[in-house]
Structures are given as C-alpha cells and as structure tokens.
Chains A and B, each alone.
Chain A
Amino acid sequence: MTINFNLYADFLQMWHYQFMQHAFEAGTIIAIVAGITGYFVVLRRSAFVAHAFSEIGFAGAAGAVLIGIAPIFGLLMGSILGGLAIAALGRRVTNRDTQIGIVLAFTLGLGLLFINVYTGYATEAYSILFGEILGISSSNVLLTLSFGLVILIAIAAIYRPLLFASLDEEVAEAKGMPMAFLGTVFMLLVAVAVSISVQIVGVLLIFSLMVTPAATAQYLARRPQQVIIISVIIALIATWSGLFIAFYTPYPVSFFITTISFTFYLLVRFVYPRIRPNKAPPSNINSNGAIKTNE
C-alpha cells in the first residue's frame, strides 16, 4: 500500500477496506473498555493478575482452535474460569505472584500443547499471542460491542463502591461493603475485557492497552474520573494510530500500539514533569516543619 502523506487521502484509502473498518470499530470499543477497566487494574495493583488472565485465556483459545470453534469463545471461557478461581481465592491473591506465575506458566504450556496437536496453520497461535486485525469479522465487532457494553454498564453500576474498595479496602470492608461480590464482579469484568482486547494486541501485549494508558494517565490527573478519561484517550490514540501506521507498513499493528502507548508513558513520566507549569503543591506544613492545626 502506498502512502501519499496526505492524512485525509491516506485515511480514505485505508477506510476503503472493510477489514480496516472492522479493525477500527473493534479497536475503538476495546480502547474504551481497556482504558476504563485498566484504571481499576492499576489502582488495585492487579496488573499481574490481568496478565495471568490473558495467558489462561491463551490455553482456552488454543483449545478452541483445536476443536474448531472461534478462539474468542475459548479465550472468554478460559479467562472467565481463571477470573472466578482468582476471585474465590480472595483479594489478597493479587500479592501471590509466585502462585499466579506457576499457574500461568502451566496454562501457557497447555496452550502450546493444544497448538502443537492442532494440525492447521501456526498463524492461529501467532495471532492469539500477538493479535491479528485482519481476522476481525463484522460478527466479531458485534460480539466485541456487546461485551464492551456489558462491561461499561457493569462498571458504571459498581463505580463508586469499586473505587472505594480499591482505594481503601479495610475501611470499605468495615463500612459493610460486599467485598467478595465486588472482587468477583471486577475479576470477571477484567477477564472479559482482556479476552476482547486480545483480538487487537494479543495475549502477550495486553498491558499496552490494559495497564500503560491508565498508569500514564495517573501522572496527569488526581481525580479518578479525569484519569479514566485521559486513559481512554491515550488508548484510543495508540489504537487508531497503530492501526493507521500498520496499514502502510509491513510491520504488525500490536508493535505500533505498544510503542505509541509506551512513548506516551515515557513522555509523561520523564518529560512532562520538566515542562508542566510549576505549581507549588499546597501544604499545611509550617516553617518549622510541623503541621498547622486549628488551635
């Protein structure tokens, strides 16, 4: 595909292809869902758990390929079962890096076995691991939209209690919040969000949409709703730009999405602090170092 370096003409040329329209539609839904869900993943320090879902999902997807059904259903099944198991073990499981690492290594091995037994093309395994935009059909877009809407409605319904439980677990528990219910619902939402995101970025690069945008946004705002909006914007820019650039180059889209996402992080983490308006943080520390009181 030849690029004209005329953004409008290049976009029209790309949009001419239906698979790119599907990729943009699914990518947009995924970026919104991952940007929002990712904020809670980062706040609850559950990034490793989210990664575990994707690898447990890999075994499910590879199993689905083996028995001849669409990988997304295997992904959903695998990650939802993983989500339920992790939720059953409780919130503190997020600190059990060793156990999670052991389980995800096993499931990755299981997925490898399924792919090995499968006599079809190795590209199936590759697309699950690293994403494949060419294969997104209109029914996949509809499926992604349906699951995306379910996730967004569910997060809207539990938004404030989930925020409270994520930020201050012990006080939330003492206030009578249904912690086990919130933990289970959240794990299921992450499992589904991971499963639909895998279509674009693959199992191994899930962090580029699920963690990096939210972690970057946290440096730019302190109010959760603002952080979520910025996180979604970063995920959208990374996804749209990644799809656009990948269309005109021979390189994979997930590489561009991860690179753009990571570039945002580097800029915000290391360049933004040097150029932002120099606002002195409000402080109630008086000149001799003690905290001012109302006395």
Chain B
Amino acid sequence: MPSNLITAENLAAGYREKTVWRDANFSFGRGEFIAVIGPNGAGKTTLFRLLLGLQQPTGGSLKIFDAPPRRGNPQIGYVPQRHVIDSDTNVECLELVRLGLSGKKWGFNPFSHKENDAALAALQSVGADELAHSSLGVLSGGELQRIFLAEALVSKPDILLLDEPLSNLDLRRETDLLHLVNDVVRSRDVTALLIAHNINPLLPHLDKVMYVANGKVAVGKPSEVLTSESLTALYGVQVEVLRDPHGNVAIIGVEEHHGDMV
C-alpha cells in the first residue's frame, strides 16, 4: 500500500480550451485533513471532479492509490455542495444513508439487516442516530450536513471530499461540524479534503492547506502557505497576511486597498 493516497504531478484542470489552473504538485497521505481555499470560480470543485473521475485532467497526472481516478470509486466518500433540501422531501434520513451504501444494487429488494445496521452505525458515528427516522425536509442545515456525512462514511471510504459543508451554518454548528470531521479523520485514518471560504475556523484542525487562485495552486502546511510571500506569488499582486493574537488570519490585497478576507 503506497504511503500517499493522492498524488498530483504538474496537474492542470479546465474545460475544453480553458485552463482553470495548472502546474499543481501535491501528495496527501492517509489521515490528513486538508482545506481547499480560494475565491469563487478558482477551480476548487473542479479538483473534486477530477478526483471523482467525473472530469479528466487537461495536463499532468493525478493518481489515487497509484491508479488514475475513476468514476464510482468506493474508496471516496463525497458530500457535494448543496444549498437546501426542499421541505417537501419527506424521506427518512436512514433511507438516504442506506442508499449511500447500496444504492447501486439493481432490482427491487428490501435492505438487508447488514445494510440497515451499517447505515445506523454511520448515523451514530456522526451523532445523528436519533434523526434516523426523521424526514430530510425538516432538518436544519447542521443536521443535514451530518446526514450527508453519514451517507459519505457508510461505505467506509479512505478519502472524504466535502464541498463547502460549512455554508449556511451558523458559527456554533460550523464549529460542531469541524470537530466532527476532525474526529472522523483522526479516528478512522481518513484523508479529508474540505472546500471552504473562511479558513479561520479550520486552522486548529488542519494538516495542510491547498490555496487555489489566479490559475495556480499552492499546497503545504498552513504556516507555509498562509504567508505574505506565498500568497503574493500565488495572486501575482502584493498580498499581506495579518494574524491576530489567536492565530486567525486576514488576507489583504495591498495594491488594491481592499481586503479579501478568507
């Protein structure tokens, strides 16, 4: 088993003729928690699409367990970016989690006890076992994110891709969810990539940061990437990284004289 789960060499991504970002080099090992940060449209979700095999790289190579990404890889658990679940969706949470485990099975057959138990265990692992029989449509944003996380974890993946799970959450629920993801990463040795706009709540948990901006990608420890030098090189304009006494960062574009708070 290779030590690196995900390896990219000179990776480039884009659509048709347009390159979104290029020359990305990184490797992520087992049990790492990585934040993927950058402005809207920088290509963060594109990275997830590459890893999921939904899109092909436009250059370089990307490997998961030494093999190119493929659609339907059971080693990956995915929580896509979702804004809302319609309040009319009266389907119990347990059903969604069970489908996350065996939704690909053809035919009309009831879920087995084994599938049921696995789904309940996944819900329990995210502290949402009491929501098993609740309707998806009535859940709060924080509760929904837990259900989606359980759906992603139920097949026991090695890699977890979380696309903006913190959007629409208040500060309390944001902190709760991040603690939960961190627990999952540490206890299950899962490698988690989490797309977010605000890096500050993530900083206490992170092993690495992937900063995507201006068609380029910077990857490393937070202390290496979140520096004025690193981000100035990335953005191509003078950028200053300010830190408060608690370690929170603010990123300021100096020449433009307006802040780009991340």
CB neighbors of A among B95-125 (8 A): 95-96, 99-100, 102-110, 124-125
| Residue pair A224, B106 in contact (C-beta under 8 Å) | no
Which residues of the partner chain A approach B206 to less than 8 Å between Cβ atoms?
Answer: none
Cα–Cα distance between A168 and B124 once the two chains are bound (Å): 21
| Residue pair B103, A163 in contact (C-beta under 8 Å) | yes
Chain A's nearest CB lies how many Å from the CB of B104? 6
Q: Given that A168-B151, A284-B128 are known contacts, is A160 also in contact with B78, CB under 8 Å in the complex?
A: no
| Residue pair A177, B151 in contact (C-beta under 8 Å) | no
Give which listed residue, A175, A218, A224, A284, contacts B72 with CB less than 8 A.
A175
The closest CB in chain A to the CB of B110 belongs to A225
What sequence of 0s and 1s flags, for each residue 52-73 of chain B, a beta carbon within 8 Å of any chain A beta carbon?
A: 1010000000000000001111
- Tell me if A106 is interfacial: C-beta within 8 Å of chain B: no
Give which listed residue, B104, B107, B140, B173, contacts A175 with CB less than 8 A.
B104
Q: Given that A167-B96, A281-B138 are known contacts, is A222 also in contact with B103, CB under 8 Å in the complex?
A: no
- Tell me if B256 is interfacial: C-beta within 8 Å of chain A: no
Interface size bracket, B side: 35 or more
Give which listed residue, A45, A156, A171, A223, contacts B108 with CB less than 8 A.
A156
Q: Given that A160-B107, A171-B151 are known contacts, is A295 also in contact with B183, CB under 8 Å in the complex?
A: yes
Q: State how many residues of chain A have any CB contact under 8 Å with chain B.
A: 42
Which residues of the partner chain A approach B219 to less than 8 Å between Cβ atoms?
Answer: none
- Tell me if B179 is interfacial: C-beta within 8 Å of chain A: yes
What sequence of 0s and 1s flags, for each residue 169-200 of chain B, a beta carbon within 8 Å of any chain A beta carbon?
A: 00011001001100100000000000000000
| Residue pair B99, A168 in contact (C-beta under 8 Å) | yes
- Tell me if A289 is interfacial: C-beta within 8 Å of chain B: yes
Chain B's nearest CB lies how many Å from the CB of A124? 38
CB neighbors of A among B193-252 (8 A): none
Q: Given that A156-B107, A161-B103, A170-B80 are known contacts, is A291 also in contact with B71, CB under 8 Å in the complex?
A: no
Cα–Cα distance between A249 and B54 once the two chains are bound (Å): 59
Binding site for B on A (CB under 8 A): 43, 45, 155-161, 163-165, 167-168, 170-177, 218-219, 221-225, 227, 281-285, 289-295
**Chain A to chain B: the 3 pairs with minimum beta-carbon distance, closest first:** A176-B72, A164-B103, A222-B92
Binding site for A on B (CB under 8 A): 52, 54, 70-73, 76, 78-80, 82, 86, 88-92, 95-96, 99-100, 102-110, 124-125, 127-135, 138, 140, 142-143, 146, 151-152, 172-173, 176, 179-180, 183
